[in-house]
Structure 1
């Protein structure tokens, strides 16, 4: 578990921040159960414990620190025994649709997909173990507890019960329920071994906030939040919707010169260069940048493959792919560490669907430093749609 091994001052900071946010509950409702928005819970946790916030990417963990991945949950305590969402499988629907009339095979396949996602989360972020950190809410208090985030034991799945819109099962460690119409997997959380945190809800939080702002003479015309430009890139060919057999993640399979089995590049569609002409550097020899991976490794990278576009009337070679130098380093990370496929195996779109990712987000910190993380299925098309809107 995570919490009990943290310094006392960090734990106290965490509790204090939860009390502050909980005290503002009347901003949102007049209930005596304190309100805690899940994004606020994630940010509070990461701030107090100086943890890495993984919520921007598509990961089974919301935070990580010291090789521990943490799934952060906040929910009403109810009877102390509640089902909570842990994964969605909307994009996998076509793969398991034919199994729906065979509950045993169906649940085994869903469990296999869930385990694949946990495995990829560990690989992407160099995580050794996983845990849930939960904040259950009830009248005037938070109840904080943790439990392991286990892989589903495929050999111990039993007590499968089919209902019109759900299938419940357990693996002798946990109880699960799959909602068929929502393609969502739930797990039962039992509120035990808790730390109790009493919350004093302010009667008039608006007046309190106004006094704070007046005392500090805050200038609302300024923002101290750093904003970074970002783009989302596909891990597949936008022409076919598949992973090309001899380019992109399968560049190692291209004909011509002898290639390293880890040789890949991430496609950069022309529309990205046109919409963000100054985001990536030009594709010229000697121009490179640092690419920061989610596991905190840094790869020297550059643009590759000629792709000329006009910027302010001038034709510029922006490149049609992002690669590492040496080229094999990026491929080793994606093909071996994340997808875990043997050398010589072609990457398919179905492989990406299995682990729930088909895109990457690249953030520009400055002209020499970029960050990269994986994104959930369909993120590239959603990004392009948002640009068009």
Structure 2
């Protein structure tokens, strides 16, 4: 059974209608009319797919999966793509600019197998990191893609596996590119832009043609839009996203522009909690730094007026265990929830931890290591007690996290990684510029 078949008929029909309407407006995006191949923007495709099929948009900038679909216990990662013409073709699937130097040292005569292994290993590592981030089963993920021919769209689905490192073959290298296969998929790496490309072919046995439908391109879409807008203006409803509050936090010290060696993501490396002891702090004990500037600009994100709450904490008299805390649950993108709180002086740390809740997998109380285990080890692949640096974070493609919750609901906050520079753009109120 394809993933497409797991969605309802009503959902599939609605998805096709959205695509037909967008394709019909193709002349909005062209300076010259006459092209009979309908246009489709990839970001619109992501948005409408998530909306119609009730999926979650999990693309955080150059990550392998765009959409997460959940069917009971099955968590399916989906890569979305679109291009013109249905003939077999190579399409970009991963950017490896940060690995350019270590790849290029293998670009010599007689090193084809080592080169294929290196590029494939990096690709697999990036994908496995996303499996951990989203809680995916590596065997079930797919590409859902749309090819566009004259007057029609074609919807297809194919498998999205790891590269089989034990079956690398069919090497062919030129001055500009390197091709290889693993017996299931064919790949290409282009040296100039450090891109991995994958060949898509509707004739392959792991590829399924799901639907074909006509798209009638409107000659004058501008007139159509004006009439439609004013005719249906009163029917427009408030978007659900208006009820979502979204912020970003840095994974480094905002003031020092580095990950400090004994705090933040390296809090486990601080001095022992007991003076005079040589006992190390718990493995992966971390907190995410919250700059004071963040609270100043967004005092109502974690609680209704963080400064008022802080004053009540400072004036509290009584047993420490009864002291008020900013507590909530963090919803991880892999489907798990962990208890968390905002703590430390100046409310400067977001950390996991609870004195009462038990982790069902380990049967232990949640501690400050729970967030670090997911963030540093499970997803980013950090080795045991390896110091985190800003350079290392950016090498693996992130330096910030995104947080969001329903407006007025402080009990559950969602968290995920964010592209490099997200916090700086957010705090400075700059437009987002994602790396392609």
Shorter-chain TM-score range = 0.7 to 0.9
Q: Which runs of 5+ in 2 are unaligned?
A: 274-278, 314-323, 355-367
Question: Is the contact made by 1:339 and 1:351 (CA closer than 8 Å) also made in structure 2?
Answer: no
**2:46 maps to 1:3:** no
Asked if the contact 1:120–1:355 (Cα under 8 Å) also holds between the matched residues in 2, the reply is: no
8 Å contact from structure 2 (residues 62, 94) kept in 1: no
Match of 2:321 in 1: none
One of 150, 166, 169 as aligned partner of 1:139: 150
| 155-164 vs 355-364, greater mean Cα deviation | 355-364
Secondary structure of residue in 2 paired with 1:216: helix
1:127-161 Cα offsets, whole Å, 9 max, x none, are 11310001000101111111111111122222222
| CA spacing shift, 1:43–1:177, aligned 2, 3 Å | same
| Residue equivalent to 1:310 | none
Gaps of 5+ in 1: 307-316
**Alignment partner, residue 233 of structure 2:** 217
Pick from 397, 402, 406: which aligns with 1:361? 402
1:13-53 superposed Cα distances (whole Å, 9 cap, x missing partner): 22222112222222223321111100111122112211112
The alpha carbon displacement at 1:214 in A equals 2.5
Q: How does 1:91-110 map to 2 (within 5 A)?
A: 91-101=98-108, 102-110=111-119
CA distance in 1, matches of 2:133, 2:176: 34
Matched with 1:312 is none
What is the aligned-residue RMSD (CA, Å)?
Answer: 3.0
Show the counterpart of 2:184: 173
Over 3 Å counting, the alpha-carbon distance change for 1:265 and 1:139 in structure 2 is same
Equivalent of 2:89, from 49, 59, 82? 82
Larger Rg: 2
Deviation of 1:219 after TM superposition, in Å, equals 9.1
**TM-score, with structure 2 as normaliser:** 0.76
Q: Verify: 1:374 aligned to 2:417, yes or no.
A: yes
Per the alignment, do residues 382 and 94 of structure 1 end up closer, same or farther by CA in structure 2, a change over 3 Å counting?
farther
The 10-residue stretch of structure 1 (290-299 or 3-12) with the greater mean CA deviation from structure 2:
290-299
Which region of structure 1 is more displaced relative to structure 2, 44-53 or 143-152?
44-53
Equivalence for 1:116? 125
- Show the counterpart of 2:317: none
Answer yes or no: is 1:305 the counterpart of 2:344.
Answer: yes
Q: Within 1, Cα distance between the matches of 2:235 and 2:6?
A: 39
Note the alpha carbon deviations across 1:314-363, whole angstroms, 9 max, x for none. xxx231x2111232321232234323456545445676456433321223
Q: Kindly tell me: are residues 229 and 10 of structure 1, through their superposed partners in 2, closer, same or farther at Cα, counting changes over 3 Å?
A: closer
125 and 34 in structure 1: CA distance in 2 versus 1, 3 angstrom threshold = same
Mapped partners of 2:5, 2:120: distance in 1: 30
Alpha-carbon distance change, 46 to 364 in structure 1, aligned in 2, over 3 angstroms: closer
Distance 1:266 1:131, change over 3 A: same
Paired residue total: 376
What is the rounded CA distance, in whole Å, between the counterparts of 1:373 and 1:266 in structure 2? 12
Any conservation in 2 of the 1:113–1:354 contact (CA below 8 Å)? Answer: no
